[in-house]
Amino acid sequence: MDIPAYPRYEASQTADLSEQGGAIGALFNGAYIFSAYGGSNYGKVESYDNSAPKAEGDTFDECNCHSSSDDRKSYHCHTPPSCLLNQLQEKSDAHSPLVGWAQDGFPVYGPRGNGGIMMKQCSFTGNVEPCVDECGGYYGDIDLEDGYVYRYYIMGEHSGGTSCATPEPYGESSADYFPFTPLCFKGCCPDGESCSGGNVNIDSCTNSAVDGYTTSFSPTVKYAAGLPINECPGTCDTSDSSTDETCYSNLASSPPSPPPPDSSPPSPPSPPPPDSSSAPPPDSSPPSPPSSHPGLSAVRTTLDLPPPSPPKSPPGLVVLRDHL
């Protein structure tokens, strides 16, 4: 997917996504952004009633996303990516962090605007700002200093990103947050850019297009050092659990106490009756007393075994690591 580094903005729509399947953008965890269109079975998406979140929300995993294929890359999100937002330390009283990019080059944020307000379409709020336009975006200055004049939001309720519950409790979301992800684009394809590699055919810029960025804007790599690893309470950091003994030992149950040794060894067996052949003398040494119970530390010390495998991470975390 080729995404313009210097997007340009048109006041009118440059791409209609109401019947657009497949990726319309990408998230920083490697998942795709899909529109609210749920496929030909539901038709052109015009409201919450025939949207993908309503029809498919009960299949969204604990990270609020799902896959559509077993044999190709298809993991995607129609609603806020809760695990990613948790990784990026989203706060309820502040603007959501940047979570990815739309194919037209404009940034995509989580569901919250300034002050933590949950973003919704202006048609729902009665044009009480902040609110998003028909495409799911906002044009203007919102004190983010992100260098862009326009940005999209992935709207809707979501869990905290640490629950292992499946499906995601807010998967089906609600009509209040329709269209959830961009329903159309306002970014055009600048001269000299291909804007290809994705599923959306974006219109070339017209003479009325304006720069989608400020005069001081300079594109930079976001999260160049990578994303932090998401942790679930009571489990190990998945980057350390294979080598850090203190991590899994805290989770393992304590080994049972060894049984007390038998103070008196059993009597030796009686010798066989004499015969014409010479028989070996009976073994006068008693057998060794029973060993102590093989607890976790004892087994590892005696047999020099590797540490036990750490508990498996919740499915949602495995998926995220696959994408990283």
Sign of the four-CA dihedral 88, 94, 99, 105 = negative
Report for 100-114, 155-169, 270-284, 308-322: range of highest mean pLDDT:
100-114
- Asked whether residue 19 falls in the same domain as residue 112, the answer is yes
Q: Are residues 166 and 305 in the same domain?
A: no
Domain residues for 250? 229-259+289-324
268 inside domain = no
Summary count for the chain: helices (H), strands (E): 6, 12
Give pLDDT, residue 225.
82
Q: What is the pLDDT of residues 39-89, one digit of tens each?
A: 999 999 999 999 999 988 888 888 888 988 787 788 999 999 999 999 999
Mean pLDDT of 145-157: 94
For residue 324, the model assigns a pLDDT of: 33
Q: Taking all residues of the chain, what is their mean pLDDT, rounded to a whole number?
A: 77
Q: What is d(CA 194, CA 206) in angstroms, rounded to the nearest whole number?
A: 15
CB 287 within 8 A of CB 265: yes
Comparison of pLDDT for 99 and 315, the residue scoring more: 99
**Cα-Cα end-to-end distance for the chain:** 17
For residue 88, give both structure tokens: 């990026």
Q: Is residue 175 part of a domain?
A: yes
Position 277 in a domain: no
- How long, in residues, is the chain? 324
pLDDT tens readout for residues 237-247: 444 433 333 33
Domain shared by 36 and 144, yes or no: yes
Write the pLDDT tens digit of every residue in 253-282: 334 444 545 545 555 555 555 554 444 555
Any domain includes 283? no
143 and 250: one domain? Answer: no
Band of residue 184 on the pLDDT scale cut at 50, 70, 90: very high
Among 210, 227, 244, the domain-final residue is 227
Q: What's the mean pLDDT in 111-117?
A: 94
At residue 132, the 3 state secondary structure works out as: strand
Using a pLDDT cut of 90, give the percent of the chain over it. Answer: 44
Angle at 175 between CA 91 and CA 315, to 5 degrees: 55
CA distance 17 to 149: 21
At 172 the pLDDT is 67
Position 220 scores a pLDDT of: 87
Q: What is the pLDDT of residue 174?
A: 82
109 and 30 assigned to the same domain? yes
In a domain, 296, yes or no: yes
User: How far is Cα 3 from Cα 197, in angstroms, rounded to an integer?
Assistant: 9
DSSP β-bridge partners for residue 162: none
Per the structure block, which two tokens stand in for 155?
């709207």
Residue 311: exposed, middle, or buried by beta-carbon count in 10 A (0-12, 13-18, 19+)? middle
Q: Among 227, 251, 276, identify where a domain stops.
A: 227
Residue 36: inside a domain, yes or no?
Answer: yes
Instruction: Mark whether 41 and 183 lie in a shared domain.
Output: yes
pLDDT band, residue 234 (cuts 50/70/90): low
Is 271 contained in some domain?
no
Residues 118-133 have pLDDT tens digits of 999 999 988 888 999 9
Among the candidates 227, 245, 270, a domain finishes at 227
Q: Is residue 311 within 8 Å of 213, Cβ to Cβ?
A: no
Does the pLDDT value for residue 214 go beyond 90?
A: yes
The reported pLDDT for the residue numbered 233 is 59
Residues 93 and 233 both lie in one domain? no
Whether 206 has a pLDDT exceeding 90, the answer reads: yes
Claim to verify: residue 175 and residue 46 sit in the same structural domain? yes
Tell me the residue ranges of DSSP E strands in the chain: 8-9, 15-16, 23-27, 32-34, 76-77, 98-102, 107-109, 137-139, 150-153, 184-185, 187-188, 210-211
- Do 208 and 295 lie in a common domain? no
Per-residue pLDDT, averaged over 182-186, amounts to: 97
Contacting residues for 268 by C-beta, under 8 A, at least 6 apart: 282, 283, 284, 285, 286
Q: In the predicted model, is pLDDT for residue 195 greater than 90?
A: no
| pLDDT on residue 271 | 55
Q: Helix, strand, coil: what percent of the chain each, to 5?
A: 15, 15, 70
Q: Other C-beta atoms within 10 Å of 298: how many?
A: 14
Residues 14 and 75 in one domain: yes
What pLDDT is recorded for position 194?
A: 83
Say yes or no: 163 and 304 in one domain: no
Q: How many domains does the chain have?
A: 2
- How far is 120 from 133, CA to CA, in rounded Å? 9
**pLDDT over 70 at 251, yes or no:** no
Same domain? For 128 and 246 the reply is no
| Residue 34 in domain | yes
